[in-house]
Structure 1
Amino acid sequence: MAKDDKKLSKDLFEPIELSADKGEELTRPEISFWKDAWLRLRKNKAAIVGLFLLIFIVFMSLIGPMMNDYDIDQADYDAKNLTPKVKGLEWMSMFDGKKTWEIEGVTVESATEAGLRAYEVDEQFVEIEVISQGNPDNNEYAKIEMHVDDYANRGYDETYFWFGTDQLGRDLWTRTWKGTQISLYIGLLAAIIDMIVGVIYGGVSAYYGGRVDNYMQRFIEILVGIPNLVVVILMIILLKPGLLAITIALTITGWTGMARIVRGQVLKLKNQEFVLASRTLGATDRRILSKHLIPNVTAMIVINTMFTIPSAIFFESFLSFIGLGLQPPIASLGTLIDAAFDSYRTYPYMLVFPAIIISVLMIGFNIVADGIRDALDPKMRK
Structure 2
Amino acid sequence: MLTADKFKRVGYTKEEAERIDRPTISYWQDAWRRLKKNPVAMASLVVLGLILIMVIVGPYIRGYDFVSKNVKEKNQGMSAKYWFGTDYLGRDLFSRVWMGARASIIIALVATALKLIVGTLYGAAMAHFGGWIDDVMMRIIEVINSLPSLLITILIMMVLGNNLFALLVALSITAWCSTARQVRGMIKQLKESEYVYAAEVLGAKPSRIILKHYVPNMLGILILNMSTSIPAFIFTEAGLSFLGIGLTAPEISLGVLISQGQQTLDFYPTQLIWPCVILCVIVMAFNLLGDGLRDALDPRLRQ
| TM-score, length basis structure 2 | 0.92
Q: State how far apart, in whole Å, the 2-side matches of 1:237 and 1:342 are.
A: 24
CA distance in 2, matches of 1:261, 1:31: 28
**Aligned-pair distance for 1:27?**
3.9
Partner SS, residue 173 of structure 2: helix
Give runs of aligned pairs for residues 204-215 of structure 1, distance below 5 A. 204-215=125-136
Give 2:232's aligned residue.
311
For residues 14 and 216 of structure 1, the distance between their equivalents in structure 2, rounded to whole angstroms, comes to 68
> Is residue 238 of structure 2 the alignment partner of residue 238 of structure 1?
no
Q: Secondary structure at the match of 2:23?
A: coil
User: What is the distance in 1 between the residues matched to 2:206 and 2:21?
Assistant: 39
2:22 matched to which residue of 1?
28
1:343 shift after superposition: 2.0
The answer to whether the aligner puts 1:350 opposite 2:271 as a matched pair is yes
Structure with bigger RCO (C-alpha 8 Å, 6+ apart): 2
Choose which of 79, 83, 87 in structure 1 pairs with 2:73: 79
Task: Choose the corresponding residue for 1:360, options 258, 270, 281.
Answer: 281
Q: How far has the Cα of 1:294 moved from its partner?
A: 1.4
Contact 1:80-1:170 at 8 Å conserved across structures: yes
Q: Tell me if 1:166 matches 2:81.
A: no
- AA in 1 matched with 2:73: A
> Which residue number corresponds to residue 53 of structure 2?
59
Code of the aligned partner of 1:85: S
Deviation at 1:228, TM superposition (A): 2.3
Task: Give the 5 Å matches for 1:317-336.
Answer: 317-336=238-257
Aligned to 1:153: none
Q: Give the CA deviation at 1:199.
A: 0.8
Q: Match for residue 70 of structure 1? A: 64
- Deviation readout 1:48-74 (Å, 9 max, x if unpaired): 111111111111011001112211211
In structure 1, the residue matched to 2:296 is 375
Q: Which amino acid aligns with 2:39?
A: K
Q: Root-mean-square deviation (CA), in Å?
A: 1.9
Deviates further, 273-282 or 186-195: 273-282
* 1:136-155 aligned within 5 A: none
Q: In 2, Cα distance between the equivalents of 1:241 and 1:290?
A: 36
Aligned length: 295
The alpha-carbon deviation at position 381 of structure 1 amounts to: 2.4
Kept after mapping to 2: 8 A contact 1:241/1:326: yes
* Pairing 1:173-192 to 2, within 5 Å after superposition: 173-192=94-113
Secondary structure of 1:329 counterpart = coil
Specify which of 221, 238, 246 is matched with residue 300 of structure 1: 221
Aligned to 2:143: 222
Name the aligned partner's letter for residue 233 of structure 2.
A
1:323 to partner: Cα distance = 0.6
Is residue 193–residue 254 contact of structure 1 (8 Å, CA) maintained in 2? no
Residues 252-286 of structure 1: CA distance to partner in whole angstroms, max 9, x if unpaired?
21211111111110011101222223323333322
Of 36, 44, 50 in structure 2, the residue corresponding to residue 42 of structure 1 is 36
User: Identity percentage over the alignment?
Assistant: 41
Partner of 1:270: 191
Contact 2:44-2:288 at 8 Å conserved across structures = yes
**Residue 207 (structure 2) pairs with residue 286 (structure 1):** yes
Contact 2:157–2:170 at 8 Å: present in 1 too?
A: no
Distance 2:137 2:21 in 1: 49
Q: Is the 8 A contact 1:310 1:361 kept in 2?
A: yes
In the aligned structure 2, how far is the partner of 1:329 from the partner of 1:285? 46
8 Å Cα contact 2:30/2:302 also seen in 1? no
CA distance in 2, matches of 1:314, 1:170: 24
Q: Larger % of strand: which?
A: 1
Q: In structure 1, what is the equivalent of residue 3 of structure 2?
A: none
Which amino acid in structure 1 is aligned with residue 78 of structure 2? P
Aligned amino acid, residue 33 of structure 2: L
Q: Which one has a larger percent helix, Structure 1 or Structure 2?
A: 2
What is the rounded CA distance, in whole Å, between the counterparts of 2:138 and 2:180 in structure 1?
9
Shift of residue 297, structure 1, vs aligned partner: 1.1
Distance 1:283 1:191 in 2: 29
Matches within 5 A, 1:10-25: 14=8
Give, in angstroms, the shift of residue 13 of structure 1: 5.6
1:166 match: secondary structure: coil
**1:131 corresponding residue in structure 2:** none
Quick one: distance in 2 between partners of 1:238 and 1:14?
A: 84
Contact 2:58–2:98 (Cα < 8 Å) also in 1: yes
Deviations 1:149-189 (A, max 9, x none): xxxxxxxxxxx111100111111011111100110011101
Q: 3-state DSSP class of the match of 1:200?
A: helix
Q: Distance in 2 between matches of 1:14 and 1:323?
A: 81
Q: 1:251 offset after TM fit, Å?
A: 3.2
Shift of residue 26 of structure 1?
4.3
Kindly provide the amino acid, as one letter, of the partner of residue 291 in structure 1: K
> 1:92 maps to which residue?
none
Q: TM-score, normalised by structure 1?
A: 0.74
CA contact under 8 A between 1:75 and 1:170: conserved in structure 2? Answer: yes
